[in-house]
Chain A
Amino acid sequence: QSALTQPASVSGSPGQSITISCSGTSSDVGGYNYVSWYQQHPGKAPQVMISDVSDRPSGVSNRFSGSKSGNTASLTISGLQAEDEADYYCSSYTSSSPIVFGTGTKVTVL
């Protein structure tokens, strides 16, 4: 049940695009198309932004998109806005447990 690996921080200027990576193994990210991404503002509950690698729930901005290649999933935020500044976590279904989370990435809007 080792956590998935994410960069500790990513930053970008308003209007730019950024990408957050989520690295796992063939037992989690690489083995299943069940990767989710969550946004968490300080003191708030996480909110799902992407599920099943690339599905965007109703109400989530189309500036958020997800993809996967091999054992690494990615979340791209295009047209970065001040309100996107938050912590982001990935998760995946695994062969040994229903879910494992990533280490988390702090996104800063410069």
Chain B
Amino acid sequence: EVRLVESAGGLVQPGGSLRLSCAASGFTFNNYAMTWVRQAPGKGLEWVSSISGSGGSTYYADSVRGRFTISRDNSKDAVYLRMNSLRAEDTAVYFCANSRGYSYAYNWGQGTLVTVSS
């Protein structure tokens, strides 16, 4: 059974930083791209970032490029999202997801809430 578990989010001040992690199990991790998706309160889904199975290719939404960094550790079956220069508009539930072929969000974690506020 595929299982994706995000680390706890939390409350961060504007301009602050936070690193999310996602622990994966139930599939051969290094064979699959991984993706972070977020959902602001009461809003729709927004793609944030994706990383290839090897970690050699990374992709970012314009809204986070230059502030967020995605990475993975295939020895630990984990993917990370480092978030810097956080803004109020980054407040959202962040989900990690694995891929299936060119479907970059297939199985999803339960999500973790990140609140950016002073």
Contacts and interface: CB of A to CB of B under 8 A. Distances in A.
Q: Do A and B bind each other?
A: yes
Interface of A: 1, 3, 32, 34, 36, 38, 45-48, 51-52, 89, 91, 93, 97-104
B33 interface: yes
A3 B50 CA distance: 17
Interface stretch (B9-17, B20-28, B78-86, B98-106): B98-106
Interface of B is mostly: loop
Given A45-B95, A52-B101, A104-B45, A99 B35 contact: yes
Given A45-B109, A46-B108, A89-B44, A97 B103 contact: no
Contacts of A52: 101-103
B103 A34 contact: yes
B44 A104 contact: yes
| Size class of the contact patch on chain B | 20 to 34
24 contacts: A1-B47, A32-B102, A34-B101, A34-B103, A36-B103, A45-B95, A45-B110, A45-B111, A46-B95, A47-B108, A48-B105, A51-B100, A52-B101, A93-B102, A93-B104, A97-B61, A98-B50, A98-B102, A99-B35, A99-B47, A101-B37, A102-B44, A104-B44, A104-B45
B104 A101 contact: no
B105 A3 contact: no
Nearest to B109: A45
B101 A101 contact: no
B89 interface: no
A98 B110 contact: no
B46 A98 contact: no
B107 interface: yes
